[in-house]
A and B are shown apart, each in its own frame.
Chain A
Amino acid sequence: MSDTVSDTGIWVLIVGLGLVTYAIRLSFLGLLAGRTLPPLLMEALSFVPVTVLPALVAPMVLWVDGSFATDTPRMAGALVGLVVGAWVRHVFAAIAGAMATFATLSALGL
């Protein structure tokens, strides 16, 4: 999948995301010191992690080879990751559980 990505593209990504991320971090610490965000914007921002991350994951789990599919190892792995993450609240345990589930079921040919 990397064949389509040029060296230039990678460097633009590195520098671009670095600059943008630092600008976000500095925003209120630096330029707007002492001010706070409007409450509505704070509230919207607070929903970013719980929306963007699941939205990233959904196609990786439910979209296989160009169409919607229920792929058992992926679905089970995702479920384990979600459950362990939500209840145990330990990130590494959740990652390991999800990957182990996926790898095991894939190996079994399910």
Chain B
Amino acid sequence: MDRSTDTPAAGAHAGAPGAHAPPQPAPPHAIAPGAPAPHAVAPGERSPHAVAPGARAPHTVVPGERPPHAPTRRGFVAGLVACLPVLLAVAPFGMIFGTLAVEAGFDLVQTMAYTVIVVAGASQLAAMQVLTDGAPVLLAVFTGAIVNLRMAMYSASIAVALPGVPLSWRIPAAFFLHDQAFALSMQRYAARPDEPLGDKLGFYFGVGITTAVVWVIATLVGALLGAQIPESWGIEFAVPATFLAAAAPMIRGTANVVAAGVAVVAAILFVHLPAGFGLLVATALGIAAGMATRRLLPPAAAKPVGPSAGETP
């Protein structure tokens, strides 16, 4: 049982690089090894999850009847329960973020708006750091976006895993696509591929909304109490500690170790670049090094990594 838990900020072992080894024909994005392939549904084809008795098309909604994709309470509760262990990591991280935001000069309204609108702790911290280092605000936004790029990967995986969900549900679903919602949902779908679509979507929202609500409340508590946290607790080290804690579980396998190592060395070498730019260069070099390493290594060295349970919203 993988009990790695991440903060709503940073890490995403769910998207652990190991899962995308090129030699594998179908990249099992975050699908556990051995799990059934996600059901891709071609246009016009009926989703296996949306099949209702009778000959109706999957999206036809008879008035008064629940459409098959409508999130169920049963699924929501299952998601809520599933994310409880993860909240043990989300809550302290939210408090740390709230504390640091206030220390960085954000007032309470700004801190809460930031955390409610973005709901991605690592990027919130990273962008805040770049901004308070004196970089232009657009570079800070760009840095936060880089940290969140992994979510494009999540978006593609969830879209494939939930075929037949109409856009009216995918638009709100996207808002809650943080690390925990992605990782726990993909685990659930791999373990129970035949669950009805409504339960699957309910589970997703159960994890997504619960985690986001706890994240926001924890931020508020941190922002309110932060000023009272004694200096001797080492709060100034909270930011690097958080990023390390989020990244460490993902740095597995030679390619990831090389990627991380190159990124660290480059970040030091390019530290004199204007604030924020060194980070971008270091990230790009690290990614290139990781991809090159994977190609130079014998395929057996690349072991797929299944999704794990905790990340950051």
Contacts and interface: CB of A to CB of B under 8 A. Distances in A.
Interface of A: 1-5, 7, 9-18, 20-22, 24-30, 32-37, 39, 42-63, 68, 73-74, 77-78, 81-86, 89-92, 94-96, 98-100, 102-103, 106-107
**From DSSP, what is the main secondary structure of chain A's interface residues?**
helix
A13 B245 contact: no
Interface residues of B, number: 119
A45 B255 CA distance: 14
B84 interface: no
A53 B243 contact: yes
A77 B290 contact: no
A53 B122 contact: yes
A11 B110 contact: yes
In this complex, the member of B113, B129, B263, B310 whose beta carbon has the largest number of chain A beta carbons within 10 angstroms is: B263
Given A5-B105, A55-B279, A95 B131 contact: no
16 contacts: A4-B132, A5-B104, A5-B131, A30-B170, A46-B20, A47-B286, A47-B291, A50-B17, A51-B263, A54-B243, A55-B279, A56-B129, A58-B265, A62-B268, A86-B252, A95-B245
B11 A49 contact: yes
**From DSSP, what is the main secondary structure of chain B's interface residues?**
helix
Interface in B221-259: 232-235, 237-252, 255-256, 259
Interface in B1-50: 2-7, 10-13, 15-17, 19-20, 22, 27, 29, 40-41, 43
B52 interface: no
Given A17-B141, A21-B151, A24-B155, A55 B263 contact: yes
A52 B146 contact: yes
Nearest to B261: A54
B215 to A, nearest CB: 13
Given A29-B170, A39-B22, A103-B237, A91 B29 contact: no
A83 B244 CA distance: 9
Contact of A99 (B170, B237, B251): B237
Nearest to B265: A58
Contacts of B155: 24-29
Interface stretch (B53-61, B64-72, B172-180, B192-200): B172-180
Interface stretch (B74-82, B86-94, B183-191): B86-94
B160 interface: yes
B62 interface: no
Nearest to A85: B248
Contacts of B220: none
B83 interface: no
Contacts of B138: 12, 16
